[in-house]
Amino acid sequence: MPFNLQMPFLRQQYLEGSLTPLALVQALDSLIGSEDAGHVWIYRLSLEEMRAYAEALLDKDPASLPLYGIPFAIKDNIDLAGVPTTAACAEYAYVPERSATVVQQLIDAGAIPVGKTNLDQFATGLVGTRSPYGACQNSFDPAFISGGSSSGSAVALASGMVSFSLGTDTAGSGRVPAAFNNLVGLKPSCGLLSTQGMVPACRTLDCMSIFALTADDAATVLAVAQGFDAEDAYSRAAPTPLPAGPLPGAFRFGVPRREQLAFFDNAHTPGLFDTALARLQALGGTPVEIDFSDFLQTARLLYEGPWVAERYAAIRTFFEQQAEAVYPVTRNIIAGATRFSAADTFAAQYRLKAMQRKAASVWGSVDVIVTPTAGTIYRIDEVNADPVQTNSNLGYYTNFMNLLDLAAIAIPAGFQPDGLPFGVTLCAPAFTDSALLAIAAAWDRAAQPDGSARTLGATGIPFNANTGVTL
């Protein structure tokens, strides 16, 4: 059995004195080793580098720091001081002098960075295959995709190498990998987490995301990571009081009309989605059928409209000088952005404003919307054979989220007969993050439909296990 890296379990060991941060990093270094057959890491901290973070905790009281000695992974488009940031492009790499705001807040709370993880280059993709560092393999079956773009962050967590990880989410990158690796993926409200120290994809839509083994763990990380940052022009302070959100035991959840659901010829995921709806009802939810067309129309704006030009703007100087260094599929997407004019951009903004107004009407009848996180999953060879359409299919339920300023959480929702995970996503208006986490936590604690124990990632460790292999 892998090490039990659940945050409450580690915290209990630290408080009892049966574990130290130095012992933890020694064990993790041995566990992870030097091999990386699944293409998870771009830069893994050495034992000496991890020891430096662990030693900084030795004179601290474990009870005084919420993340004392908790190991985490960082998507390699987010800065960690003294470690290269590549965005999965070696020619683009730079070494930051300081960490991203969120990373530093986590370290200050006691967390220990383990490494920088693989991603779809420049965070452009939902598949995890668009990287010169190799296609990141699914934690359950290496023939299948891990999901992207935060591929390595999800697989490192699901494989039992860290306790939580950071990703980013512009179009679904913090949710699709969660679904494909049996994890919780929190896409916070835009601006709730600082993006200072993050390589932008679409800066007006970007947000940092959190992968966790459980909803409670995600809530713990969010509490540390969130906060207004004057250095980030897109940072937003949470309103006071927070908007009313859905609560376990009494909430209305919107479900797209059956003809608006898409499972892309997967014979098993429709049944898993129906089971998830029944589970939400058992938690006190009332289903309400909704017209999902406004959300789907909004989603198409992300790649069919001029927002793709933001990806060009983010790396414009580098792209114009070294376009040949960019991964072929990514290069074609970014190069296509130059066809949009300023007039096109304004026209699309007007269109989006109208769609936001139309889509907002649904919140008068429901508290939360539930969809599959992705309708299906693909093998790596299937994605390589048709990289654009497969990626587009994976964004069917995700691409509208930041355009419509919603908070969302992806949660595990069972397994296909072949053992691959399936997940659903709950979304609601901005700054309902805590309410969504409360429902997800209730979901975690509820019995599985088949009576089995909920397991964490691909580790096989049961949810809330209070025992594990000794570190």
Q: Are 219 and 436 contacting, i.e. CB atoms less than 8 angstroms apart? A: no
Assess whether 293 carries a catalytic annotation.
no
Angstrom distance (rounded) from CA 228 to CA 257: 38
Which strands, in side-by-side order, build the sheet including 406-415?
41-44, 112-117, 71-75, 164-168, 208-212, 184-187, 406-415, 421-429, 368-372, 251-256, 285-290
Separate counts of helices (H) and strands (E) for the chain: 16, 11
Write down the H helix ranges in 130-268.
Answer: 151-158, 176-180, 215-225
All residues at 6 or more sequence positions from 368 whose CB lies less than 8 Å from its CB, including other chains: 245, 246, 251, 252, 253, 254, 285, 426, 427, 428, 432, 436, 439
Our measurement of the distance from residue 325's CA atom to the centroid of its chain's CA atoms, rounded to an integer in Å, reads 26
Distance between CA atoms of 149 and 171, rounded to whole angstroms? 9
Contact 447, 275 (CB under 8 A): no
The H or E element that residue 97 is part of is: none
Give the number of other CB atoms < 10 A from CB of residue 360: 13
Using CA atoms, how far apart are residues 268 and 256, in angstroms rounded to an integer?
A: 18
Catalytic residue among 131, 146, 150, 173: 173
Q: Decide: 108 and 64 in contact? Cβ < 8 Å.
A: no
* Among candidate residues 346, 314, 372, 305, the one with its CA nearest the CA of residue 168: 314
**Residue tagged active-site, from 149, 150, 189, 194:** 149
- Residue 53: phi and psi, rounded to 5, are -70, -40
353 counts as catalytic: no
Query: What CA–CA distance (Å, rounded) separates 220 from 440?
Result: 13
DSSP structural state of residue 287: E
**Measured on CA atoms in the order 399, 402, 408, 409, is the torsion positive or negative?**
positive
Say what the alpha-carbon torsion angle 99, 35, 178, 310 is, to the nearest 10 degrees. 50
Residues assigned a catalytic role: 75, 149, 173
